[in-house]
Structure 1
Amino acid sequence: MSTRRIKSLVAIALLAAMLLSGCDSLPGRPTQADLPLRPSDVTDFAALYGQNCAGCHGADGKFAAALAMNNPVYLAIVDDASMRRVIADGVMGTAMPPFAQSAGGSLTDRQIDILIAGMRKTWAGAPDAGAGAPSYSSSTPGDSDRGTQVYAAKCQSCHGPEGKGGSAAGSVVDPFYLSLVSNQYLRTIVIAGRPELGQPDWKNDVAGQPLTPDQVSDVVAWLASKRPPVSGAGSIAQSH
């Protein structure tokens, strides 16, 4: 092959390379950074929380229909495994859906880990927030008869003698409410409270008289006894 022919081929190759590289820099062509992330590739806590949790738990983790995620007592008593189970699998019979891809949701295992770590980092509060609190869950069922006494002593001043609402707080025996929440949810609210709504936690309901673990279980049993029987809702009592 002649030297002239070789030079011509090299020139053609260089021209082709220049043309191809020029296509990548055409005006208006998006760069890789401009392309939207696939939902499974989102790793920013704020974005994941805003897209998946804020609708029920509040934009700042509070002032919403469901349990406040920025409650430091809740974050102190709940372990990562329990949080993961609720996020991944949802709570049967309640408004909490499953979010894990393995359960029909849209989140990867890594994204669920990011949510748990992000909530703890953002809202955990003081390290001793849950010091002395009853455990998050209990394998020992409470006694609804004893719970009647606990309710009368600790709760009725706000929620009324029968739990149907008082001057300071609403009903805790509304059948629609009880049909939508699990016993674990009730236990969590009794222990952690809803401070953003004026609901005290287990140690601040009656000054100097924190609820004991047995009292928490008993008042939850009393509340659960007010839940109307609904076909297919038997699993709610066992849900987390």
Structure 2
Amino acid sequence: MKKVVACMLVALTLSGCKTSPTGRTQIMLYPEQQMDEMGVASFDQIKSEQAIESEQSSNQYVSCIADALIAQLPNKYASQKWEVVVFKDDSANAFALPGGKIGVHTGLLKVAKNQHQLAAVMGHEVGHVIAQHANERVSQSSLLQAGLQVSNAVMQMNNIEYRNTIMQGLGVGAQVGIALPFSRSHETEADIIGLELMAKAGFKPIGAVELWQNMEKLGGERPMEFLSTHPSPDNRIQRLNNKMQSANSLYQAAKQKGLSPNCKI
């Protein structure tokens, strides 16, 4: 039984191997159509539960940035119909979901001081979508859960002492050792994709660094990085600065093509 389940897990893993936009190997077990349907359903639920900003200038401003970014996406995403909604929420947040959905909170408009800084956040969130991070996270969760169930079954069959304690340890180990670093790698990858995307669209790449400097000033308690799903702002800024030279080259190329967004609130 143990060997059969192990073989099934290996087969599933191998069949779901793909490569991310930055060249990282990914495991994705679910069809894109299914993920799109889940994203659309989640977005519809959010719209039914959260207040939507009706003020025209905010909506036009966010849509202007979204249009510029979407135009630079790979064709299968650029040709997709996207829905952009501004939500009345004081948190400095934004998100994008499979199925062409983008949400921006009004609180973010107070932290992102200009179009370049807001494009950095929106580009980051769209980066999660085109890298199919949602699919990867769901697939990872399924595999982790299956692995823990197999471990538990094996220990039951062999009457392992302290099985419950061992299983709790395995659960914590999987979370800290696999799930959280995996999530941080997604954030770092989305930062890189978003930085390149905003530069190709004609937004100033330095806006990404300025945005995270603004986020740092917000303060608030944060968990240690190894217990967090997100890299620390300092580490994000350092990694973004490391990519700034190539991003500026993309930005200059965009300017030569006449791409210079003028999105104002």
Determine if the TM-score, normalized by the shorter chain, exceeds 0.5: no
Short-chain TM bin: under 0.3
Question: Between Structure 1 and Structure 2, which shows a larger proportion of helix residues?
Answer: 2
Question: Between Structure 1 and Structure 2, which shows a larger proportion of strand residues?
Answer: 2
Kindly name which structure, 1 or 2, has the bigger radius of gyration based on alpha carbons: 1
- Report the TM-score, using the length of structure 2 for normalisation: 0.23
